[in-house]
Amino acid sequence: MHTHILFEHPLNEKMRTWLRVEFLLQQLSVHLPVSDHAGALHFFRNVGDLLDVFERGDTRTELLKELERQQRKLQAWSEVPGVDPRRIEEIRQQLKASGAVLMNAPRIGQMLREDRLIALVRQRLSIPGGCCSFDLPTLHMWLHLPQEQRDAQVNYWLESLEPLRATLTLILDLIRNAAPYRRQTSLNGFYQDNGDDADLLRLQLPLDARLYPQISGHKSRFAIRFMPLDSEHGTVPERLDFELACC
């Protein structure tokens, strides 16, 4: 049995942002509970990166627009013969409910941005070794509080991101399931095709091929070049079969 590896590539700026936010939200939960310096720095570094992403654009507005777009797509789907109307209506209600929660939530990241401990750690993260106990005595002391107190504070911070996380998960699930995988073949390590207004490319490659894709393009057209992991001795087969979904 071959093990496959999934590569995802965004075809527009909003999808690029959403995949980064999804990645950072996942990273926040990796080393919980926060019980030592290493886990704390991992957590605060990802919080800081999230705030940097939020400051570059209006994430909430983009997500609300996407919820409306997905509802319009579902409306069109509901008129296709053979589609389960109850399932369509169920998803539409999920989209509406998610939009209402997101609309009424405080500004995304505002509570994190105003937290004194997060701000102090964030300032020091860009300095090599800048989070030592003598640089950040507040963090040092926080790490010596009872675990329950830290857990409560971390949960409070994470709950402030829940409206964003829930909406983003729903949208990305719909986009990822919007198109099936199809078998394609690259010639001499190269493949290109039309994007058909897609948001996301998803590629499945056999791990034993030791190849990875370099993808360029946008929603109208894209190109994939397959590169060997071992740049000196690796080879690219003349013909390579892979699975591709344009979502």
What are the boundaries of each domain within the chain? 31-177, 182-246
Architecture of domain 182-246 in CATH?
Sandwich (2.60)
Neighbours of 29 (CB within 10 A): 12
pLDDT in tens, 37-65: 999 999 999 999 999 999 998 999 999 99
**CA–CA gap between residue 101 and residue 128 (Å, rounded):** 40
- Are 44 and 122 contacting, i.e. CB atoms less than 8 angstroms apart? yes
**In this structure, which topology does domain 31-177 adopt according to CATH?**
YacF-like (1.10.3900)
Contacts by residues 48-52 (CB-CB < 8 Å, ≥ 24 positions apart) = 48/118, 48/121, 48/122, 48/125, 49/24, 50/21, 50/24, 50/25, 50/109, 50/112, 50/161, 51/109, 51/112, 51/113, 51/122
pLDDT of residue 1: 57
Neighbours of 247 (CB within 10 A): 18
- Are 51 and 109 contacting, i.e. CB atoms less than 8 angstroms apart? yes
**CA–CA gap between residue 82 and residue 172 (Å, rounded):** 25
- Are 192 and 223 contacting, i.e. CB atoms less than 8 angstroms apart? yes
Query: Which pLDDT tens digits describe the chain residue by residue (247 residues)?
Result: 569 999 999 999 999 999 999 999 999 999 899 999 999 999 999 999 999 999 998 999 999 999 999 999 888 887 778 788 888 889 999 999 999 999 999 999 999 999 999 999 999 999 999 999 999 999 999 999 999 999 999 999 999 999 999 999 999 999 999 899 999 999 999 999 998 889 999 999 999 989 999 999 887 899 999 999 998 888 999 999 999 999 9
CA 150 to chain centre: 26
